[in-house]
Amino acid sequence: MSNLKIRDVRVITTEPDGIRLVIVKVETNEPELYGVGCATFTQRPTAVVAAVDDYLRPFLIGKDPADIEDVWQSSYVSSYWRNGPVLNNALSGVDQALWDIKGKLANMPVYDLLGGKARDAAAVYVHSSGRDPQEVEDKARAFIEDGHHYIRVQTETPGYATYGTHGAHPDVGLQTGPRVVTDRVEDADPDTLYAHPAGIFEPRPYMKSAVALFDHMRSTIGWDIELLHDVHERIPPIMGVELAKEVEGHRLFFLEDLFAPEDNDYFRIVRQQTSTPLAMGELYNNPHEIVPMIKDRLIDFIRVHISQIGGLTPARKLAALCEAFNVRTAWHGPGDTSPVGHAANLMLDLNCWNFGIQEYAIFGERTKEVFPGCPEVRDGYMWPNGQPGLGIDVDEGLAAKYPFRERAYGGAWGAVRRADGGVVRP
């Protein structure tokens, strides 16, 4: 039996660039040996903090940090009623931190513990969003000049709120409120970045604007760049079938979140009618929810948010299942995945043969300072630094300089509504 024990489990909260990040630090009885993990659930971060402090910390102190599988399984069932984003993110913070510790003990990056690298770097996609197709094109060209080959494109629908863009003018519609200013964190106004779009959404105008955007991008940017698009489950399922068929000729790299998890069976209909590649998974909390999607080959890319399902331990198993059915990985990686979470994503990106693409958030300078070792992206690829464990740390002194800011409704997503006042899924 190992003499190494978990001495303490602490939560570090910080908001350097307008997004609330939650990090778990697992300390051991060996001086200076600790690990860090991402537990960020930015819409409900204080609930995750309570789950770690009140329940996981006392449950884990004294356990052997080397026993990652046992820690995960025993922690997972310790609440009896299990699953869900709060408990899973709390568990993820611990799980990623334990992998970080194990890598430091072995003096190896985590990808070496998983079997080594299947590639040298991970291709990433970035976000090009704008008020109109021309603005999207201009931003995309800047990304292309920087060496990016995969670009997610989103445009405003005039007069309506649209996911991934500025949204509707705040004077339009039944509900008003602040808007997202940009997808690039370093360009954002810190007084508005934390808000999500509020306004009116209608599916038909959105579909018309999305198809017009793809027409524009293919006629200007051409066919050598891979384009992606996120529907974000907002349109009625039968209209989703129509959209997937209509965009087949644009040859998207993938169409994301065409349906909500509640409407999984509609993927069977789409598969019968179009070859548009489909990505799905960021709203899943339990890998078992997505097993039918994988085994029946209803999707092409798994978009799971690694901390949402409980960390690296379940994610690596899910990736192996996906490999058996030729489903590629595309782990969720927006700005509310902390740099620690991006480092964890990269470990699997490098190790898994069935890697597809990695979503990438462009972090602000303050975030990079708080998280030394933040994964580097150049020429359209995310590169490992070769350091042991996850290869990243958190500067607690700097992190403390950026405490969580007060938010209306605790920072919940602003409600987007149909013209009749009904709430639209986010």
| CATH code for residues 122-390 | 3.20.20.120
Domain boundaries, the chain: 6-110, 122-390
Q: What are phi and psi of 228, to 5 degrees?
A: -125, 160
pLDDT of 2? 73
pLDDT band of residue 83 (cuts 50, 70, 90) is: confident
- How far apart (Å, rounded) are the C-alpha atoms in residues 161 and 383? 36
User: Which tens digit of pLDDT belongs to each residue from 243-272?
Assistant: 999 999 999 999 999 999 999 999 999 999
pLDDT of 409? 85
Q: Alpha carbon of 76 to those of 23, 86, 137, 272: distances in Å?
A: 19, 12, 45, 38
- How far apart (Å, rounded) are the C-alpha atoms in residues 281 and 230? 12
C-beta of residue 234 within 8 angstroms of C-beta of residue 424: yes
- HEC sequence for the chain: CCCCCEEEEEEEEECCCCCCEEEEEEEECCCCCEEEEECCCCCCHHHHHHHHHHHHHHHHCCCCCCCHHHHHHHHHHCCCCCCCHHHHHHHHHHHHHHHHHHHHHHCCEHHHHCCCCCCCCEEEEEEEEECCHHHHHHHHHHHHHCCCCEEEEEECECCECCCCCCCCCCCCCCCCCCCCCCCCHHHCCCCCCCCCCCEECCHHHHHHHHHHHHHHHHHHCCCCCEEEEECCCCCCHHHHHHHHHHCHHHCCCEEECCCCHHHCCHHHHHHHHCCCCEEECCCCCCHHHHHHHHHCCCCCEECCCHHHHCCHHHHHHHHHHHHHCCCEECCCCCCCCCHHHHHHHHHHHHHCCCECCEECCCCCHHHHHHCCCCCEEECCEEECCCCCECCCCCCHHHHHCCCCCCCHHHHCCCCEECCCCCECCC
Tell me the pLDDT of the chain averaged across its residues: 91
pLDDT of 211? 98
Q: Alpha carbon of 212 to those of 133, 152, 306: distances in Å?
A: 8, 15, 33
β-strands 328-329, 122-130 pairing:
unpaired
Is there a catalytic annotation at residue 360? Answer: no
User: Which tens digit of pLDDT belongs to each residue from 107-160?
Assistant: 999 999 999 999 999 999 999 999 999 999 999 999 999 999 999 999 999 988
- Mean pLDDT comparison of 153-162, 175-184, 275-284, highest-scoring range: 275-284
Mean pLDDT over 7-21 rounds to 97
Q: Has residue 173 got a pLDDT over 60?
A: no
Is it true that 6-110 and 122-390 share their CATH fold? no
With pLDDT > 70 as the criterion, what percentage of the chain qualifies?
92
- How far apart (Å, rounded) are the C-alpha atoms in residues 384 and 362? 16
Mean pLDDT over 383-411 rounds to 95
Q: Has residue 63 got a pLDDT over 80?
A: yes
Residue with the larger pLDDT of the pair 176 and 406: 406
Q: Has residue 184 got a pLDDT over 80?
A: no
For the whole model, what pTM was predicted? 0.92
Q: Has residue 222 got a pLDDT over 50?
A: yes
CATH architecture, domain defined by 6-110: 2-Layer Sandwich (3.30)
**Could you say which of 232, 250, 305, 342 is catalytic?**
232
- How far apart (Å, rounded) are the C-alpha atoms in residues 366 and 371? 9
pLDDT band of residue 162 (cuts 50, 70, 90) is: confident
Q: Has residue 421 got a pLDDT over 70?
A: yes
pLDDT band of residue 198 (cuts 50, 70, 90) is: low
Is there a catalytic annotation at residue 163? Answer: yes
pLDDT band of residue 1 (cuts 50, 70, 90) is: low
User: Which tens digit of pLDDT belongs to each residue from 305-361?
Assistant: 999 999 999 999 999 999 999 999 999 999 999 999 999 999 999 999 999 999 999
Q: Which of 119, 95, 116 is closest to 106 using CA atoms?
A: 116
Q: Has residue 47 got a pLDDT over 60?
A: yes
Q: Has residue 395 got a pLDDT over 70?
A: yes
**Could you say which of 125, 160, 163, 206 is catalytic?**
163
